[in-house]
Structure 1
């Protein structure tokens, strides 16, 4: 008999093993478990990675090296909510490390995270998803991805989340995004102003500070300022400034107020609830330089209104500004200089006189020697405005030795500072004594390099300054010796109206020296001016004046082109009439003309502009 065999069951057993607890002894083992098909294992593996990553940066980098990122990025879209939650917790904590952040930027995970912000109602997922995006959004590429994938709408919505961590993370992302213009516009268009204003009342200082920093960025846009004002944002800022319990917020609140005061509508609101008086109080706040600096910015914008200037004058604002020009803090000094610059065109002559008599101008001149570029820029701007059509201010700068430092600054690398220095020197040089001293410090050679600048304002101010300094033969000859005539002639090709006008006038002034006129013609000045004067758009009285001045060095050519001579034109050593002609200057400074009889004359200019030799050619 054969061995008896047990009969197999026809149907499989429906019983299963109970779930086994998973304990990974090493991080490498846990990372491998992220690929498991079992949901319970995935939940525990993600939880273990989150716990391990919380230990510090070394743990986060270790997980990165073990390849934990890619499976975690896949698991944030898992069907199981608990798997998603734990995966987001692990990913969010890891993303706070710089190396992990760099690796995540190479993975297209941003759209997946944004999708969960829109669809999920799990606060924990919101917290760690926004934590991850907050780390990534520092990078420009990620900011573009967030914007392009419509990340702003859900982030703005999350500003009203009941969870403070979600609010804080979402706000941080928005703050990073609004560094760029398109996001600043989008925030107010998407209704972001009301929830931001609501966050000013948060119980968490970090949220309040982030909110004010965000508002500071978005209120640089005029349309956003309008929306901010319509939501009574300006009044809420004044409430903060009037509340001593919020003293830690005052510096940042003042920065937002300064932006708002760029608009006349907000300036009118400053009178409500004693806002202007409060600003003046901040100016006098001792040992609070940041608050003082921001308050000065506000005052300078308020002072653009004549009505406000009257009120400020009653509060002795000029005296306060002069005092602030001499404080130790560089930021306060810089703001004070900026305020003086902004207010100079608006203050009365009496107020300007007070600033001068009170020692304000020497204090500004001292700022020219500061190591701070911002202070030097502000000081040169203040002096440029103070000396504009103001003889007393010009002499005050001169007596303080400011002209010597300004000449040195003409060789600086900052275009704004060079432009301001040239403008100030030009203002001061209108007074003969000061002009002579400026020239003695080498101003004209120092202006040659700025003539080669690509900055329009530098060129406008430099050409103007050169014209004012050309007070005598020696000054005009100095520009020629310094090699300044060629770059000056090159500027005749500019299509900027003010640069061209100033250049033409400078050519006219320097052309009264025969040698300078001849050299400018060698560099093609006459041909360029002929072309300009034939242009409907570029021709001006200045270009015609420059042309005549150059022609004065060759009266035969002048008569040939214009058909007449002035009573001041003196003919020496012969003269010829070529008749009506078209004149073309050659590179060797000969001028070839053809008259109506098709005779060709070649006029050569040799030792003297008045000594003309004529060669006849048939």
Structure 2
């Protein structure tokens, strides 16, 4: 038996707690452990909370309710490196929940504590999770401002240079969100953050490249940042990025950044000088890819390089590096540019072309060729973007000619038949800009049979397309040949439906188009018969200034002939124009012109409203003087005055020198019936034999006269029947006056003598001269009433009046003067006053006397018929006033 050896066992100190192995299955326990004084316990508790919170959002909310956020916020400032790292990872994961962020916004120490973790002495993993926390917190704009105020931009910029891709990813994501605030944009420039962001475009990880492009896009909204990006050769780098076919899934974002940069003329100059613009154009038209493919086939060189897809699938730990050779900038295979990239490039060009200097540079680089090439693309969005860019380029006059020379019109005309509304809208806008002020381009559209599709598009339901088409058609109307061809294809009636739309833009463009095409009688007749005047007149009451102006202009063009002017007046156009001119906010020069044109073709209304007819306003048959209208009174047509019952109001003076056709027909019928009656009487006399001889000649004439009167009364009764339309009474006396004046006064060689003789003639026909002060005693009311009673009407032909004063004589003088081309005015005064003014040359007494300019004279028709009173003289004033 061996010797026993005594074991040397040392008892544990009494004041030391024995190690305790604890297994917990509750998150609450782990949260409680966060208050432990032991670093090892804290570290393990933070690690378990990180794993638990990473599983789902419900776990994050549960940990928040358990108070884990406050404890972790304290632990991220712990002295122990491992505790601080694990607490930071758990805390950053929790910040992904909105409720956690809401709580942290109230903690003033939260953001500074996180920013402190980005210090250079901290380890990489702490940087990664601290940047992640700031990225999550930057989701709310209010927190973004707090991060900037606490100096968080500088450490984030420093993290962009980290060798760890996860740190780069979280830092650039946080910066991209912070760059939504303009203050961060200037801070980024101050801390030289644009340089490392541009370097991140070379990253092996797509997510980092994407976030870098997003940050660049937002930073480029600042003009000074754009300038710095140019200095850092950012434009060229972006072009090279787009030229890399492996990165085609990010080309759209790269082009968006270029779009912001190309707003500056300096960037476009850089692009031009470095050849980048040509390179971009070639890329978008797939020319570069095709050239490279041809080169590869010719050289037979073996391309090396890994798969980009493998890189895209790499996890965010950033440890896997893909060894790829970039000897070929176009990658392993040639890939045509994606449609979205082409669309964004066209939009970028359109955005840049809004600047006049940029348009000039783009034109010098023949950018229009690329855009015309894109019009043949199969993608509708690409076509629409290219057409919109062309439309903006057309603001440069040289581009309009260049597009025509480079055969840009055929594809544009062809696209008018496209199914997509966006394409038709963009194409019609381009055509509108191309044809503005360019008759050659307008003729090109017509020669390529573009009229029919354009007119058919007026019925398109898209307002913008219809408005653009109306602009194109208006431009085409500037050439007489194009206008005639469009009119033959029914453009006038096709422009009527757009007038009835609810879009004010369409209404304004359609009204302007109508004004361009209704410049001849046939077009105005077609518009009137198609019912186009009613919606046009209705637009005069529009609340939109442009619609009112354009519709007033169209009305002024339509109102140059009497039938159309009469129809416009019937539809209330004259009253509406008067209201517009009385308004202080709606009146405009177009409405004034329209009203004047309307009145020039409705002299009865003009005289009633303005009280003056110029020498150019020749009175014709159908003119009537109903007296001066009061403001707000409605001008009535002659038919309404003629159908009114006989009253004591002033007579409506009518000019109607033509015999009434219905009266002529009635007289013819009367003659036929009279002849038949005479024949019947003669036959009866022959049958009775000797009995008829017993009647005297006077008795036979009396019987025949009685029968004629009966027939006349019957015809008069039929004429006055309500079923027949109103027919103004004829004025054979006026017709006789005109014949006499033309025969006797018109041959007089002297204009002054013509005026004097005509004045004496008018005075003689209306009662002769009246002594001064005796006008009130001159009896003219009773004869006028007798004429009204005789005609059973308030409408009195001027020739029926045998006694008249100023108002009657001035009207008759104007009517007769117009018939012999004697220019004179007709002016209405107050208290039955009216007068005529004539412009007469001065006649020197001797041939050696100087000849003075002609002067205006008032013609005396009442007191000294034939006397000429110098206008504005005391004698003329006394003649014009009571």
Shorter-chain TM band: 0.7 to 0.9
- Give the direction of change, closer, same or farther, for the CA distance of 1:325–1:440 in structure 2 (3 Å limit): same
Rate the CA distance shift 1:352–1:408 in 2: closer, same or farther, 3 A.
same
Cα separation, 1, equivalents of 2:507 and 2:88: 57
Given the alignment, which residue of 591, 608, 631 partners 1:583? 631
Q: Distance in 1 between matches of 2:378 and 2:602?
A: 61
CA distance in structure 2 between the aligned counterparts of 1:377 and 1:152, rounded to whole angstroms: 50
Show the counterpart of 1:380. Answer: 428
For 1:26 and 1:64, how far apart are their aligned partners in 2? Answer: 14
Distance 1:555-1:356 versus aligned 2 partners, 3 A rule: same
In the alignment, is residue 109 of structure 1 matched against residue 92 of structure 2?
A: no
Q: Which residue of 2 aligns with 1:516?
A: 568
Q: 1:522 to 1:296 in 2, by over 3 A?
A: closer
- Range moving further from structure 2, 70-79 or 380-389: 70-79
State the alpha-carbon separation in 1 of the partners of residues 516 and 38 from structure 2.
84
How far, CA to CA, are the matches of 1:358 and 1:556 in structure 2? 52
Tell me, yes or no, if the aligned pair for 2:230 and 2:267 is still in contact at 8 Å: no
Larger displacement relative to structure 2 (266-275 or 290-299): 290-299
Cα deviation 1:289-323 (Å, max 9, x = unaligned): 3444444456564796576466434xxx5554333
Match of 1:8 in 2: none
Match of 1:473 among 524, 540, 556: 524
Distance 1:116 1:397 in 2: 72
Q: Comparing 74-83 with 329-338, which one deviates more in the overlay?
A: 74-83
Structure-2 separation of matches of 1:257 and 1:429: 40
Residue 489 in structure 1 maps to residue 540 in structure 2: yes
CA distance in 1, matches of 2:37, 2:534: 82
Counterpart for residue 580 of structure 2? 528
1:461 and 2:505 aligned: no
Structure 1 pair 191/218, CA: closer, same or farther in 2 (3 Å)? closer
Aligned residues of 2:499 and 2:536 also touching (Cα < 8 A): no
Note the C-alpha offset of 1:502. Answer: 2.5
Q: In the superposition, relative to structure 1, how do residues 53 and 65 fare at CA in structure 2: closer, same or farther (>3 Å)?
A: closer
Instruction: Output one character per residue of 1:428-465: Cα deviation in whole Å (capped at 9) or x when no partner.
Output: 4552322453537743213321xx336xx556434423
In structure 1, the residue matched to 2:285 is: 284
User: Hey, what does 2:196 align to over in structure 1?
Assistant: 198
**How many Å apart are 1:354 and its aligned residue?**
2.6
CA distance in 2, matches of 1:234, 1:421: 46
- The equivalent of 1:90 in structure 2 is 90
Whole-angstrom CA distance in 2 between matches of 1:479 and 1:137: 64
Matched with 1:75 is 71
Check 1:395–1:76 CA distance in 2 against 1; reply closer, same or farther (3 A cut).
farther
What's the counterpart of residue 144 of structure 2?
146
238-247 or 263-272: bigger deviation? 238-247
Equivalent residue pairs, number: 550
Query: Of residues 216, 233, 236 in structure 1, which corresponds to 2:234?
Result: 236
Cα displacement (A) at 1:63: 0.9
Q: TM-score, normalising length from structure 2?
A: 0.53
Check whether the contact 1:526–1:585 (CA below 8 A) recurs between aligned residues. no
Secondary structure of the 2:195 match is: helix
Runs of 5+ unmatched residues, structure 1: 1-12, 591-599
Q: How much has 1:392 moved relative to structure 2?
A: 2.5
Match of 1:9 in 2: none
Decide whether the 8 Å contact of 1:486 with 1:520 is kept in 2.
Answer: yes
CA–CA distance in structure 2, aligned partners of residues 128 and 104 of structure 1:
16
Q: Which runs of 5+ in 2 are unaligned?
A: 1-12, 290-335, 639-648, 653-724, 730-792, 796-882
Q: Does 1:407 align with 2:445?
A: no
Provide the rounded CA distance (Å) in 1 between the counterparts of 2:219 and 2:537.
46
Tell me the secondary structure at the aligned position of residue 489 of structure 2. Answer: helix
Alignment CA distance shift 1:561-1:242 (3 Å): same
Instruction: Output the CA distance in 2 between the equivalents of 1:291 and 1:531.
Output: 53
1:433 aligns to 2:485 (yes or no): yes
Separation in 1, partners of 2:35, 2:637: 89
Question: Displacement of 1:85 after TM fit?
Answer: 5.1
Cα distance, 1:217–1:230 mapped onto 2, change above 3 Å: closer
Q: 2:216 maps to what in 1? A: 215
Q: Distance in 2 between matches of 1:185 and 1:397?
A: 55
1:50 matched to 2:50? The reply is yes
For 2:16 and 2:531, locate their aligned partners in 1 and report how far apart those are by CA, in whole Å: 101
Q: 1:80: Cα distance to partner? A: 5.6
Instruction: Please tell me the root mean square deviation across aligned C-alpha atoms, in Å.
Output: 4.5
Q: 1:443 aligns with which of 482, 491, 495?
A: 495
Q: 2 CA distance for matches of 1:238 and 1:312?
A: 17
Give the Å deviation of 1:39: 7.0
